[in-house]
Homo-oligomer: A and B are copies of this chain.
Amino acid sequence: MKKVSSSTVARLSLYLRVLEDAATDDVRTLSSGELAKGCATTAAQVRKDLSVFGTFGKRGTGYPVPELVAQLRAILGLERTWRVALVGAGRIGAALLGYADFRRQGFLIDAVFDADDAKVGRTFQGHRVRTDRELEAAVAAGEIDIAIVAVPAEAAQDVVDRVVAAGVRAVLNFAPVKLRVPAGVALKNVNMAAEMEGLSFALANQERPARRRAAC
């Protein structure tokens, strides 16, 4: 398989969402043009992205929806359940635990850790909060495929270093800080503060006479 860019993988996620909606509506086939429309891209891009992974559909008849859903789920690693640990039992963590889509996709958040002993042992969105001193043992016991880091910025690198040293190979980071991970570990960042600042930057600069399109 060729090296696949993260933007291609992100588009596969969007294609899957459109295809799943179509499947729910009992649509049997979708053309690359129809798929592109739902994802704000072009038919050529859809064909190019999918061609990386094989030959799907027949020329002139469109992509068979249920088959492509199954194939994209396999490509994206969604045919199995991934065990997810949330580190940081705060507001962001609460929202993530309530995010029904995760479970539907096969991401099972079934362990919650916090460094604050006042939170440990309490119930948090239906989960008992465990002390973060148990993190390494939980990884060693095979309880964690993916770690979600939702701790304050100054604590984030330490948490990541610990779970990675213990064997975790995928991290979703919500702390507003750029984290370092070794090669072989996948890291995704969600930095809402930075996204908002990107918007205020665009607005502040749009207010000058020459308006221009903001990069996004």
Contact = CB atoms under 8 A, between A and B. Distances in A.
Contacts of A178: 14, 38-41
A40 to B, nearest CB: 4
A134 interface: no
Contact of A196 (B169, B172, B192): B172
A193 B105 contact: yes
A204 B76 contact: yes
B77 A192 contact: no
B170 A202 contact: yes
A118 interface: no
Nearest to A207: B77
Q: How many copies does the complex hold?
A: 2
Given A186-B206, A199-B170, A213-B184, A13 B192 contact: no
Interface of A: 1, 3-6, 9-10, 12-14, 16-17, 21, 38-41, 75-78, 82, 91-92, 94-96, 98-99, 101-102, 105-107, 145-146, 153-154, 169-172, 176-180, 183-206, 211-216
6 contacts: A10-B191, A13-B197, A41-B178, A77-B197, A99-B192, A186-B216
Given A17-B153, A145-B203, 16 more contacts: A3-B212, A3-B215, A9-B215, A13-B191, A13-B194, A14-B176, A21-B153, A40-B178, A40-B180, A77-B205, A92-B99, A101-B176, A102-B196, A146-B200, A186-B214, A188-B195
Shortest beta-carbon contacts, A-B, top 7: A77-B204, A95-B95, A186-B202, A186-B214, A77-B200, A40-B178, A13-B194
